[in-house]
Amino acid sequence: MVNSNNLIYGLHTCTSEIKTNPSFITRIFLIKNSANKSLLAILNLAKKHKIKVIKLDRDELSLKCKSSKHQGIALELNQHKSPPTLNFDSYLQSTSKPLILIIDNIQDPHNLGACIRTANASGVQFIIKRKSNSTSLTPAAYKVASGGTEGLTIIETNSIAQIIKKLQKFNIVVIATEDKAERNIFSNHISENGYAIVVGSESTGIRPSIVEICDYSVNIPIYGSVNCLNMSVATGIALYALRENLKKSFD
């Protein structure tokens, strides 16, 4: 769905990206002679943000996207730019009971995009992601996130341990996810100051050194015959379980 030219495509995904991150876009590719109102609206957005537009035949656009499911539009992203970030210290000082996602390792950009989308839906405003040995925020991740980066700050860093310790100084409960943990995510996790949930890679999980400094670990119970859940699915379950706990703590 994404080719080597850093393309994302699809009306919803591209419209969200133009509205939220126009400076990331180097070019817009549109199908020629379209009367589609959504595509015409995108033309106006492109003029507003001074983004170059190139019009192509349907077959040319399909060839560029390596897919016929482009809905008449594709964006070329500048991978040398990164999303604007909020000041993390100010955020911690000013936000009551935050919910933060920490990704220690992740290899699949589609999983990263799914995590971003779910994090946005569950009210997360900050994602902390390990920079080394992890996929970056690629066009593939943007495509799957489908507008999920809006209103959400993503920090890529190799200082995960230091960030966890900083969160703990603010009395934010930091929870690791582990299959072998004795507690499960649906246990009664009480926090008056918010949560950070740490998830790990699809194959190796969280590094032991990171698990060790978390406040405790939880698992997601499996009741069927599968051995484990997809990493992004597990992340969504954990985030929503903690969001429910936060809602109860506000009552």
pLDDT one-digit tens code per residue, 23-57: 888 999 999 988 899 999 999 999 999 999 999 99
- Rounded to an integer, the average pLDDT of 178-193 is 87
- Rounded to an integer, the average pLDDT of 170-187 is 93
195 domain-assigned = yes
Check whether residue 63 and residue 94 sit in a common domain. Answer: no
2 domain-assigned = no
63 phi, psi to nearest 5 deg: -65, -40
Q: How far is CA 74 from CA 3, 77, 149, 158, 174, in A?
A: 11, 10, 18, 33, 39
Residue 188 banded pLDDT, cuts 50, 70, 90: confident
Check whether residue 135 and residue 43 sit in a common domain. Answer: no
**Mean pLDDT across the chain:** 87
Cα dihedral sign, 44-50-56-62: negative
Check whether residue 110 and residue 233 sit in a common domain. Answer: yes
Last residue of a domain, one of 30, 53, 77: 77
For 72-83, write each residue's pLDDT tens digit: 999 988 765 555
Report the pLDDT value the prediction gives residue 3, as an integer from 0 to 100.
Answer: 40
Report the pLDDT value the prediction gives residue 227, as an integer from 0 to 100.
Answer: 85
Check whether residue 187 and residue 135 sit in a common domain. Answer: yes
Check whether residue 130 and residue 16 sit in a common domain. Answer: no
For 146, residues 6+ apart whose C-beta sits below 8 A from its C-beta are 10, 12, 13, 16, 113, 117
Task: Give the domain range for residue 215.
Answer: 88-250
Token pair belonging to 86: 């909020």
246 domain-assigned = yes
Rounded Cα distance between 140 and 155, Å, is 18
Query: How buried is residue 65: exposed, middle or buried, by Cβ count under 10 Å (0-12/13-18/19+)?
Result: buried
Check whether residue 60 and residue 101 sit in a common domain. Answer: no
Domains in the chain, number: 2
Check whether residue 111 and residue 163 sit in a common domain. Answer: yes
In the three-class reduction of DSSP (H, G, I as helix; E, B as strand; rest coil), residue 205 is classed as strand
Domain CATH for 53? 3.30.1330.30
Check whether residue 98 and residue 184 sit in a common domain. Answer: yes
3 versus 77: which is more confidently predicted?
Answer: 77
1 domain-assigned = no
